[in-house]
Amino acid sequence: MSRIPLPYNPKVMDLFRNPKNLGKMEDATVIAVAGNPACGDMITFYLKINEQTQIIEKAQFESYGCAANIATSSIVTEMIKGLTLEATWDSITWQKVTEEIGGLPSVKFHCGVLAVGALKRAIRKYFDDRGSEPAWMPKENTFEEKQALEEEELAKTLSKRVKPEEEKSP
């Protein structure tokens, strides 16, 4: 059965084919993962942060998600370069990223949400590791962080449900 291709705009397709800042960062200050390897939708964000100024000097990602996830992650790494952690936290939302990329099919909104969830998780982890949450960071998870958690929970539940069936097959 052939599938109908999703209506991605040319910018998304270009970033999917030629993603910027893709790959592992060896000297990252902080690394965060979102998604679940069991379902394949997994993203890792690497940030190199200047400890004095809290400016993001470099951002890279690895993604096993779809075209929308790769394209949104790529554009996020470009948008945050040179910003402080606070400015990044305040200005980067999944809506902003989706807009920047020229829009996504609605069934793919969650892929951009996952990318921003990974980024926000990385920033939160940076401060958690140092035991010093800044006043501007909300205690409660943002929408994107909550969505990433929900996807992870869902993937865990589904993989538990699928396993007994797999075990039954010869």
Closest to ligand FES by CB, 66 or 149: 66
**Residue nearer to ligand FES on the CB measure, 108 or 120:** 108
Interface with ligand FES (CB under 6 A), residue from 25, 30, 61, 65: 65
Among this protein's residues, is 111 annotated catalytic?
A: yes
The amino acid that residue 14 corresponds to is D
Estimate to the nearest angstrom the gap between the alpha carbon of 142 and the chain centroid. 13
Is 12 one of the binding residues for ligand FES (CB under 6 A)?
Answer: no
Query: Quick check: helix, strand or coil at residue 147?
Result: helix
* Residue 39 a catalytic site member: yes
What would you report as the CA-atom Rg of the chain, rounded to the nearest whole angstrom? 17
Of the listed 22, 39, 55, 137, which one is catalytic? 39
Of 8-16, 61-69, 76-84, 158-166, which segment contacts ligand FES by CB under 6 A?
61-69
Strands (E), 20-146: 30-36, 41-50, 55-63
Q: Which of 111, 113, 116, 119 contacts ligand FES by CB under 6 A?
A: 111
Among 36, 44, 60, 69, binds ligand FES (CB under 6 A): 69
Q: Is 41 in the site for ligand FES (CB under 6 A)?
A: yes
Strand order in the sheet with 55-63: 30-36, 41-50, 55-63
Residue 31's closest CA among 48, 19, 51, 54? 48
Active-site amino acid positions = 39, 111
